[in-house]
Structure 1
Amino acid sequence: MREHTFDAPAPQKWGEGLVSVAEGEPLAIDVRLESVHEGILATGEVDTEYAGVCSRCLTDIAAGLKVEFQELFAYPGEDEADFEVQDDHVDLETLVREAVVLSLPFQPVCQPDCPGLDPVTGERLTENAGSQQSEPLDPRWAALQDFTMTNDDKSPRSRG
């Protein structure tokens, strides 16, 4: 068994969604390599940072990402395997990239309760929290603003 800790820059941009790990972003990798009967078992953790935009309000965000991985690198000639030992070496780049990209959030948010953008003005709702809309979003629904539901009989009542 051998344990290694090293830092390496991301060789290219990892991720194609709203957030990604930029090219050259430092990757802190801790890995333990164990010789097993079928090949070499690589177990480790990678620590890096991703950046992009919030999926609700489109503000810039950046956050740390810590991902654990474990994969068996099979000896050549064994069963078909996704990863193989090449000349007594293992190439961790593909394994680390796949682990990082699969751990990136699909719909990242700047804060868990981000309200997003106002559909009429396009302003961020967190900045515009004090103002209430006086008009309905769709004029076809304007007549329904005069009615409300009461809790006691569940029938619509006019406000006027």
Structure 2
Amino acid sequence: MKNHLDGPFVLPARDIVRKPGEMREHALTIAIPERWGEGIVYIDKGENLDIDVRLESVHEGILVSGTVETEYVGECSRCLQPIAESVEVEFQELFEYPGDETPDFVLQDDHVDLETLVRDAIVLSLPFHPVCRPDCPGLDPVTGDVLTESSGVAQDPIDPRWAALRELTETEPASDAGLSREEN
């Protein structure tokens, strides 16, 4: 049977509990046990998280603050090419002492469990529309091919009702068009 205080995200705080002003710092590298994120980008199972965390004793509980660095993978939302980017997120939360109220985070048996806190901070920081580069032109809407800088932006298809007008402008030289207007 697994104890709820087992795991790489659980840190002891016994030596600073109810001692306001006391502080402990930890540097952790943890491989995540499952994929985090359900969107077009995610943190893959087994990816390492580099966590620098500080536990500070305050009157209400243990204040946990720190940063986490990792890498997300997925697809560009414009051209669907694979992407991998690093992400760094700051987090801070108060783990309150057990009491009558039911706060979001509670100090359990003088330990803090960082997993939910770190996972939420990372997943909420993932881009909603990730791109491989800021000026990614995307896909050609007709062929589905990846557009490049040389191919430019795809032209919108011409409404067949206006096609005859386009033929006129393409065949008539600009200088002739100017003369015919002046003659009228």
Q: TM-score range by the shorter chain?
A: 0.7 to 0.9
1:62-141 equivalent positions in 2, closer than 5 A: 62-126=84-148, 129=151, 136-141=157-162
| 2:63 corresponds to 1:41 | yes
Comparing 11-20 and 70-79, the one that deviates more: 70-79
Displacement after TM superposition at 1:132 (Å): 7.0
**RMSD of the alignment, in Å?**
2.4
Match of 2:25 in 1: 3
Task: Call closer, same or farther: CA 1:56–1:80 in 2, change over 3 Å.
Answer: same
Q: Could you report, residue by residue, the CA deviation over 1:20-73 in whole angstroms, capped at 9, with x for unpaired residues?
A: 000000000000000001110000000000000000000000000000000000
Distance 1:147 1:80 in 2: 75
| Matches of 1:138 and 1:130, distance apart in 2 | 21
Change (3 A) 1:99 1:140: farther
Other-structure match for 1:151: none
Q: 1:146 to 1:77 in 2, by over 3 A?
A: farther
Partner of 1:53 in structure 2?
75
Structure 1: which 4+ aligned runs deviate by more than 6 Å? none
> What secondary structure sits across from 2:157 in the alignment?
coil
| Percent of matched pairs sharing the same residue | 67
Question: Whole-Å Cα distance in 2 between the matches of residues 60 and 22 of structure 1?
Answer: 13
Query: Comparing both structures, which one devotes a greater share of its residues to strand?
Result: 1
Q: 1:139–1:85: structure 2 CA closer, same or farther, 3 Å change rule?
A: same
**TM-superposed deviation, 1:147:** 8.9
Count of residues paired in the alignment: 148
Alignment-mate amino acid for residue 15 of structure 1:
G
Please give the TM-score of this superposition, normalised by the length of structure 1. Answer: 0.84
In structure 1, stretches of 5+ residues that fail to align are 149-156
How many angstroms apart in 1 are the aligned matches of 2:108 and 2:164?
72
Partner of 2:163: helix, strand, or coil?
Answer: helix
Does 2:183 match 1:142?
no
- Residue pair 2:140, 2:154 contacting (<8 A) in 1 also: no
**Structure 2: where are the runs of 5+ without partners?**
1-22, 170-180
